[in-house]
Amino acid sequence: MKIAILSRDASLYSTKRLKEAGEQRGHEMKIIDHLRCYMNITAHRPSIMYQGKLLEDVDAVIPRIGASNTFYGTAVVRQFEMMGVFTANESQAISRSRDKLRCLQILAKEGIGLPVTGFAHSTQDIEGVINIVGGAPLVIKLLEGTQGIGVVLAETDQAAKSVIEAFRGLDANILVQEFIKEAQGADLRCFVIDDKVVGSMKRQGAPGEFRSNLHRGGKAEKIKLTPEERSTAVRAAKAMGLKVAGVDLLRSNHGPVVMEVNSSPGLEGIESATGIDMAGKIIEFLEKKSDKGNSRDRIPY
C-alpha cells in the first residue's frame, strides 16, 4: 500500500513511528505537509498537488492535523475523501472532536458521562453559569486551548468571575466545568482503534498541578481500565465518528467522565507507558479497512 501521513514535522515522534511501522510491514510511506498541498476542486476529477506534483495512487491517509491548522488540514483530508482515498479519521470526525463545545454536546446527547459544564456568551450571565456547575472550585477552559493551555482552576466564585470576565474581554469563548477533586490531578488516556481500547495509561499531574498533561510535567503509567471506563471510551470515540482516538477520562464519584476526545493522539507517552506498538496497530487497521471509496461517517451532527 501507498500510505500518506499528513504531518507538518517529519521529526515528531508520532510521525516517525508511523513511517517506521508502515515500512516494517512493507508499505510505501510518504510524509506530506498538508499546508503545502493545494487542491483542484473540479467535477469528476478532484486532485491534490504537492510540491508541484500530482498526488496519485494513494491508498490510505493518516491525518496528524495540529489544532491550529484544523480548517485547512480537514479541507485536505476531505479532498482525499472526494478522491475515494481511505482516511484513518474522516474530516467530519476530526472537526467534531476539535470543536470542544460541539464535542460535549454530542457526547451529552449520547448519554456519555461528562463533568457538569456551562457555556454562556454574555458577562451578565456569569453568576448563572457558575451556579450551573455548583460553584467554586471550578475549571475554566478556552475552547481553542490545547495541551492544558488556557485551562484555569478558580478556587473561589470571585476568582472565577474575574477570570471569565478577563477571557470574555478578549472575546475568547470559554467553557466552565465542575472541578473533579476526587481525580486528584490524574486522568486516564484510552487509546481507541476501530472501536476497541488497545491500550491505556494513567497520567498524574506534577505536584501542585491539577492538569495531568505530559507536556506539563505529568508522569504516565500503564493502567487497567474497568469495564465501564472501557465502554465509555469506545462510545465517546464512536460518537465523534473517530476510528483512531485518544479519549481522556477522569474517575469521578459518579463514574468515568470524558474530558476530551483527541483525533491525533500522541504515540510517545502511550507506547512508553504500555510497551504496545500503537503505530503498528494503526497500520494494521488501515490494512484491514482501506477499501477505496469506503466512507463510514453517518453521524447527523
What is the pLDDT, as a whole number, of residue 102? 94
What is the pLDDT, as a whole number, of residue 211? 62
Closest C-alpha to 260, from 67, 53, 31, 126: 67
Domains of the chain: 2-88 (3.40.50.20), 97-113+182-263 (3.30.470.20), 117-179 (3.30.1490.20)
Residue 290, amino acid: S
What is the pLDDT, as a whole number, of residue 143? 81
DSSP string, 150-218: TEEEESSHHHHHHHHHHHHHTT--EEEEE--GGGTTEEEEEEEETTEEEEEEEEEPPTT-S---GGGT-
Q: pTM of the prediction? A: 0.90
Report the distance separating Cα 216 and Cα 220, nearest Å. Answer: 12
What is the pLDDT, as a whole number, of residue 290? 82
What is the pLDDT, as a whole number, of residue 207? 67
What is the pLDDT, as a whole number, of residue 212? 56
What is the pLDDT, as a whole number, of residue 44? 85
Mean pLDDT by 10 residues, the chain (301 residues): 96 97 97 96 92 92 94 96 95 95 96 94 86 92 72 92 89 90 91 97 76 65 96 98 97 94 96 97 94 65 68
What is the pLDDT, as a whole number, of residue 124? 83
- Adjacent-strand bridge partners of 245: 192
Report the distance separating Cα 150 and Cα 145, nearest Å. Answer: 5
Cell of 207: 505536584
CA of 268: how far to CAs of 12, 79, 122, 155, in Å? 10, 29, 40, 33
The length of the chain, given as a count of residues: 301
